[in-house]
Amino acid sequence: MRVHLHPQRRTVEVQGRRRVGQLLTELGILPGTAMVIRGEFLLTEGEVLEDVDEVEIRAVISGGTG
């Protein structure tokens, strides 16, 4: 499956079906710090992804103390 990472603007290919939570762990992303988006919808951690899927992982943390 194809995984687009934002705001890094990086795309990675991951082989084999797995749960969203597992994908996040493999990519070293803490759940709750990024949204996993497939098309128009968000996915919860238990959702299963297939090889044909294309998802966006969008970080939600912004920084700076202003």
Partner 1 sequence: MKCTRCRAKAEVELRAHNAGFCRPCYLFYFRRQVERAIAAERMFTHDERLLVAVSGGKDSLALWDVLAECGYATTGLYLGLGIGAYSARSHEKALKFAEQRELELRVVTLEEEGPGLAIPDVAAATRRVPCSACGTMKRHFFDTAALAGGFEVLVTGHNLDDEAARLMGNVLRWQRDHLARQRPVLPATHPKFVRKVKPLYLISEYETAVYAFMRGIDYIVEECPNAVGATQLLYKDVLNRLEHASPGTKQAFVQEFFRSGQPAFAAVENEEPQVCGQCGMPAYGTLCSFCRLVRQVEARRSPPGAAAPA
> What is the smallest separation between the CB atom of 22 and partner 1, expressed in angstroms?
15
What residues make contact with ligand SF4 under the rule CB under 6 A?
A: 63-66
C-alpha–C-alpha distance, residues 39 and 41, integer Å:
6
* Nearest distance, CB of residue 10 and ligand SF4, angstroms: 21
Choice between 16 and 66, CB closer to ligand SF4: 66
Identify the burial level of 45 via C-beta atoms within 10 angstroms of its C-beta, where 0-12 means exposed, 13-18 middle and 19 or more buried. Answer: middle
Query: Which among partner 1, ligand SF4, none contacts residue 48 (Cβ within 5 to 8 A by kind)?
Result: none
Q: Could you give the CA distance from residue 64 to residue 21 in angstroms, rounded to a whole number? A: 28
